[in-house]
Amino acid sequence: MNFGKGDDKGGYKDNRTLPSLKERMRDGLKELKHEIALWSNEVKERFESDPLLVFRPGEVDVIWQFKNAESLKKWIVTNDSDNNEGFSKSSLVLGNHEKALFSGQLSLKVPKDGRIKRTGYCNMRTIRARSVLRERDQLGNNKSFKREAHLDWTSYNMLVMRVRGDGRSYLLNINTRGYYDLTWNDMYHYVLFTRGGPYWQVARIPFSKFFFSSKGRVQDRQKQIPLNKITSFGITAGERYAGDFSLEIDYIGLEYDPNHTEEFAYEMYKIPKFMI
């Protein structure tokens, strides 16, 4: 692990130049008053919050709803072509029905650089709360003093999405980046199966169904999602069929279903040490 000097871009280079130490100290002192105000609001909201109000069985709390162009600013779109690792293209725009339209073209063509062996993905992901211009968003994740912000979904057990797809399957990604670099690429996945056709569908996916991976590889030792440490949510088009794809999204929300009692869907086996 890299203590003190980590690379949080997973090996991709960041060519930005940092200001001098003197300039950073001056800017930090200017923000001190604002940070103290944020901290005061955090303390106040902590005492005013009532966890009993969250448990409303059958009611969906919409976290991301796509009504206008402003709602798209909380999302980032990336493709394999952005890192010279492929030729896929995609975009996230407001469609004709005032819903988000995630569309593009998947390409399985491999660059002739002798380094890339497999390609073909497009991804949309939420911006982490602390990087949204330090503004208070609908989730209230504006931590003071530049502290790491997380989404807390411990009061829910179900992910709910209203989508209209093209018959392809899409990968849902829940990132739980931890403090140490060893956990920066921790992610949980589940597959969203869409229908091809003119009708919308509501997908309800229990958090217990999500499986654990790191750096894109499913791990042998599975574990539950730490729902209080979620850093971002994303959707990936990476099906092994080249061509156009299209996914319309109305909203993404959370629900508490008291009838769903499963804690973890995957049975794990303990292998004797002498067999490893």
Q: Are 176 and 226 in contact (CB under 8 A)?
A: yes
CA distance 239 to 67: 28
Q: Which of 108, 150, 149, 115 is nearest to 243 (CA)?
A: 108
* 3-state secondary structure (DSSP) of residue 208: helix
What pLDDT score was predicted for residue 13? 62
Per-residue pLDDT tens digits for 56-105: 777 899 999 998 889 999 999 999 999 889 999 999 999 888 899 999 99
Per-residue pLDDT tens digits for 34-43: 778 877 777 7
CA distance 227 to 100: 26
What average pLDDT does this structure show over 178-193?
Answer: 88
CA distance 219 to 221: 5
**H-state helical runs in the chain:** 21-48
What pLDDT score was predicted for residue 146? 65
Task: Classify residue 201 by burial, with Cβ atoms within 10 Å: 0-12, 13-18, 19+.
Answer: middle
User: Where does the pLDDT of residue 142 fall: very low under 50, low under 70, confident under 90, or very high at 90 and above?
Assistant: low
What pLDDT score was predicted for residue 95? 87
What average pLDDT does this structure show over 137-165?
Answer: 76
- Compute CA 221 distance to the chain's CA centroid, rounded to the nearest angstrom: 22
Per-residue pLDDT tens digits for 16-35: 777 888 888 888 788 787 77
pTM, full prediction: 0.78
Task: Classify residue 211 by burial, with Cβ atoms within 10 Å: 0-12, 13-18, 19+.
Answer: middle
The length of the chain, given as a count of residues:
276
What pLDDT score was predicted for residue 140? 41
Per-residue pLDDT tens digits for 223-251: 999 998 899 999 999 988 999 999 999 99
What pLDDT score was predicted for residue 5? 46
